């Protein structure tokens, strides 16, 4: 199958799911639409990154999660740079605000990639540790360890609130 036709089919099949997932992670319709566009544009620009057809839903979930987490981290880095330039007297590690979605985004931006993905799959998608292990390509025990590390971060964050 020609790459363009394969990507068109992938978009028709998985595009709505990518948009819903991005909305859930980012909490913003506009940003979710941008992630959808960026993800499929990257597929068009580098079709070799796609697995052979049929593309599994888990692979698309993982690619979407990765794109959203990168967006959150980039947003955090931009904010940190602006804080340093605009208000150097303020701490770059301010306590999370009372807005729940913002707090979750700050948490995800703070975590390493594998921990952030485990959090999204476990808490947002309500997947089992076995399902997460399959998506991440690791053992169920490793997923449990990732979630324990996240709990430690949460406990430290709660201590600073």
Instruction: Say how many Å lie between the first and final Cα of the chain, rounded.
Output: 54
pLDDT of residue 55: 77
pLDDT of residue 91: 36
pLDDT of residue 46: 86
Question: Burial letters for 114-145: b for 16+ Cβ neighbours within 10 Å, e otherwise?
Answer: ebbbbbbbbeebebebebbbebbeeeeebbee
pLDDT of residue 88: 38
Does residue 40 contact residue 53 with C-beta atoms inside 8 Å? no
pLDDT of residue 49: 83
Q: Which long-range contacts (CB under 8 A, 24 or more apart) does 98-101 make?
A: 101/27
Domains in the chain: ranges and CATH:
1-92 (1.10.1740.10), 111-161 (1.10.10)
CA distance 150 to 158: 12
pLDDT of residue 99: 59
Kindly report the CA angle at 20 between 15 and 26, in degrees rounded to 5? 120
pTM for the structure as a whole: 0.57
pLDDT of residue 76: 67
Kindly report the CA angle at 148 between 146 and 154, in degrees rounded to 5? 105
Does residue 117 contact residue 73 with C-beta atoms inside 8 Å? no
Work out the angle between the directed axes of helices 140-160 and 100-110 (0-180°, nearest 10).
120
Tokens of 15: 């595009």
Taking only the tens of pLDDT, the chain with its 161 residues reads: 688 888 898 999 999 999 999 999 888 899 999 999 999 988 888 888 888 777 788 888 889 998 998 888 777 655 554 454 434 333 333 444 445 667 777 788 888 989 988 888 888 787 888 888 888 899 999 999 999 998 888 778 767 65
pLDDT of residue 58: 85
pLDDT of residue 95: 42
């Amino acid at each position: 199958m020609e790459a363009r036709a394969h990507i068109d089919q992938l978009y028709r099949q998985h595009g709505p799911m990518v948009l819903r997932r991005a909305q859930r992670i980012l909490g913003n319709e506009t940003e979710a639409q941008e992630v959808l566009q960026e993800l499929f544009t990257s597929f068009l620009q580098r079709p070799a990154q796609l697995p052979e057809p049929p593309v599994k839903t888990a692979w698309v979930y993982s690619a979407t999660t990765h794109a959203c987490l990168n967006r959150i981290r980039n947003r955090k880095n931009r904010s940190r740079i602006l804080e340093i330039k605009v208000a150097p007297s303020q701490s770059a590690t301010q306590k999370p605000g009372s807005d729940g979605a913002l707090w979750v985004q700050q948490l995800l931006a703070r975590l390493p990639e594998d921990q952030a993905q485990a959090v999204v799959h476990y808490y947002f998608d309500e997947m089992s540790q076995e399902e997460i292990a399959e998506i991440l390509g690791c053992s169920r025990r490793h997923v449990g360890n990732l979630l324990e590390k996240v709990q430690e971060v949460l406990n430290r964050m709660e201590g600073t609130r």
